[in-house]
Amino acid sequence: MNTHAERQLKICDTTLRDGNHAVAHQLGHADIVAYAQAAERAGADLLEVGHGNGLGASSIQVGRAALTDAEMLTAARAQLKETRLGVLSIPGFATVERDLKPALDHGVDEVRVGAHCTEADVTRQQITMLRELGVTVKGMLLMSHMASTKTLIEQARLIQAYGAHAVILMDSAGAYTPAAVTEKVGALVEELDIEVGFHGHNNLGLSVMNSMAAVKAGATIVDVTARGFGAGAGNAPLELVAANLHLEQIETKLQLFAALDAADLAESTFVKRIPTNDSVTIASGIAGVFSGFAAPTRRAAERFQVDPREILMELGRRGVVAGQEDTIIEVAMGLAQQKSLHDVMC
């Protein structure tokens, strides 16, 4: 049974990692320096930095970053004193020798190792290695809405057994409701001996409600981004989570006005478009499809002259996950062929 209920809630600011999705991974040196300083003033416990898909992910397939991992980490590290520097590592993108060890050399304090919610076993090598090196490491279960509570408990227990300090449920598709968050987070808190966290996306407009539900269910880690800066409809906004925590009198290290300032800074400097909910991102949330699929789905829909919402609904029916981007084109082509056949018959 979890024994960490007395621990202070920790805020992980992922603006300089998840937020990188919103600008095609083009955050520059000045962006990173300025926002890292703002996150430090705001009292964020952890600032996650890097390509939107984490260490080693910069590529033609998912987008080349403006800066290397080393350049991003070095720029952020120099600005942080109290706020810890973190990275995301997804096995398949990141390797131990090429990516993880160099990141540690650049001053990373914490690594969060992510995997699909039913594939926790792929995190074993990285988590055990990092623990042996004395590094704080947490496991992240991506697309966690796709798994039952029982399955999530089983997968989280594996991550715990590998030595992780925490397990974080990622709402990668923005598909959770507060009731589902309460059930799943509460179950993990009850069953595990390590901390539990929540990473919300806003496809259904519930990211703040879901984050607060996670806290009330016992989560001691919550992820945010300034102005909800992120893929598709974005993430749980730092400024709104900070405001709600203030109203609920939930203790954190966050400084309310400084958190509001950090969000204002992001909007005025590098947020090109504040994430909003539209018919495509809403359909993505309903279908339970990875938020990062919004942009390629729009492109495929335009190319094949089909409804992007129909593409997303079909992707959801197929249970498609990140890494299966080629299926977007396949589905769009199939819908276009169906449309042509229907037009001919009519």
Residue labelled with tokens 């709600």: 244
Question: Could you tell me the two tokens for 182?
Answer: 């309460």
Q: Are β-strands 136-142 and 110-116 bridged in parallel, bridged antiparallel, or unpaired?
A: parallel
Whether 21 is catalytic is: yes
Nearest Cα neighbor of 115 from 94, 139, 95, 138 is 139
CA–CA distances in Å: residue 81 to residues 69, 256, 318: 20, 19, 46
Tell me how far apart the alpha carbons of residues 154 and 169 are, in angstroms, rounded to a whole number.
13
Helix, strand, or coil here: 321?
A: coil
Question: Could you tell me the two tokens for 330?
Answer: 């396949």
Tell me how far apart the alpha carbons of residues 200 and 181 are, in angstroms, rounded to a whole number.
10
Do residues 16 and 73 make contact, with C-beta atoms less than 8 angstroms apart?
no
Question: Could you tell me the two tokens for 295?
Answer: 């942009």
Q: Catalytic one among 4, 21, 199, 342?
A: 21
Rg of the chain's alpha carbons, rounded to an integer? 19
Helix, strand, or coil here: 195?
A: strand
| Number of Cα atoms under 13 Å in the Cβ half of residue 150 | 0
Tell me how far apart the alpha carbons of residues 221 and 167 are, in angstroms, rounded to a whole number.
9
Do residues 54 and 94 make contact, with C-beta atoms less than 8 angstroms apart?
yes
Active site residues: 21
